[in-house]
Structure 1
């Protein structure tokens, strides 16, 4: 079954239909825009001054160990490597999203599309004859994103649970090009409350 990439922003869209607080809406709109740009491989736009502070501070917990990404150069390198290795296309499922004056938190299942040759480095049980396949990595994550007084992203804190992997049939693969074709026309179609 091929994921409907338009559902990437479902939790944010559902909340935007309910939230009327202007600050909370700005944070959710920022997050929604960030998510779309990320899966489209457009990280330069994520780091633009209208969305993200000049020196963001990311902290990712993988296997219990913190991995910091401090400053624009380090965060930009992270996003750039995701595009270069073809692991930026992801789908969210069962997202539970909350927003407040300081940012948002979410609990979500991530499905990340990646080449098997890359997945093997994350611990995927890939056999030699599968190296040219695409894989879906599934993890549960908890994310807390912080925003400044101007509703710009200052940092991400992400806790990543254990991963499972499955070979993705070719007809289920979602590409960066598809994400751009399907999602970019929706980027400014923000749901209104009510």
Structure 2
């Protein structure tokens, strides 16, 4: 079994979309799916096309909002995300709510991090040269405007529930190609 299966990130949304008849709910689901898929590639321009002109992200950590704000702030955030090579992830959802203006997703976010990047952002890893599977329990609110674009993300997470050093053999092919090209 794979350490992470990226397609699980949008699987529940696609299942809901397949049985949803409300056109507005379909629109809201479709933009979040497009965003998730662009994040997985990663496609920076594709990600930004899913957002309003002045998106605001709210990442709540230790009572502080540390999310990026505005077009440039969010674009810089995603550029850093792409550069970090930590986009090999799975958001294994067990809860999905949809209304006319928002999608709410909840589950376990499992993400593979290069150890140096994990250490840089304050995660307690023992070996910066290693690769780590880091899991969080996360709830995300995806507000969507009247035109069908994502206004931002409101993220709440538990902090790491697992930090596990991975052997090279456990790394998915996509991650190896991204982090260790030519190996």
TM exceeding 0.5: yes
Scaled by the length of structure 1, the TM-score of the pair is: 0.82
Higher relative contact order (CA 8 A, sep 6+): 1
**Corresponding residue for residue 143 of structure 1:** 140
Query: What is the CA-CA distance between 1:56 and the residue it aligns to?
Result: 0.6
What residue in structure 2 maps to residue 173 of structure 1?
Answer: 171
5+ residue gaps, structure 2: 179-183
Q: Which residue of 2 aligns with 1:53?
A: 52
Name the Cα RMSD after superposition.
Answer: 2.0
- 1:191 aligned partner: none
Q: For residue 149 of structure 1, report the CA deviation from its aligned partner.
A: 0.7
The alignment's TM-score, normalised by the length of structure 2, stands at 0.87
8 A Cα contact 2:112 2:133, kept in partner: yes
Structure 2 counterpart SS, 1:91: strand
Deviation track 1:85-137 (CA, whole Å, cap 9, x = no partner) reads 1122210114311110111111121011110111123444433xx32221111
Q: CA deviation at 1:167?
A: 1.2
Give 1:1-16 correspondences, 5 Å limit: 1-2=1-2, 3-16=4-17
CA distance in 2, matches of 1:117, 1:123: 10
Q: How does 1:76-95 map to 2 (within 5 A)?
A: 76-95=75-94
Alignment of 1:115-134 (within 5 A): 115-127=114-126, 130-134=127-131
- Residues matched between the structures, number: 175
3-state SS in 2 of match to 1:5 = coil
Cα distance, 1:64 vs. partner? 2.8
* CA distance in 2: counterparts of 1:120 and 1:68, whole angstroms: 19
How far has the Cα of 1:176 moved from its partner?
5.8
Secondary structure of the residue aligned to 1:47 is: helix
Deviation sequence 1:3-30 (CA, Å, 0-9, x none)? 3332221111121122111111111111
In the alignment, is the contact (CA less than 8 A) between 2:9 and 2:93 conserved in 1? Answer: no
* 1:61-104 per-position Cα deviation (integer Å, ceiling 9, x unaligned): 12332113111100001011111111222101143111101111
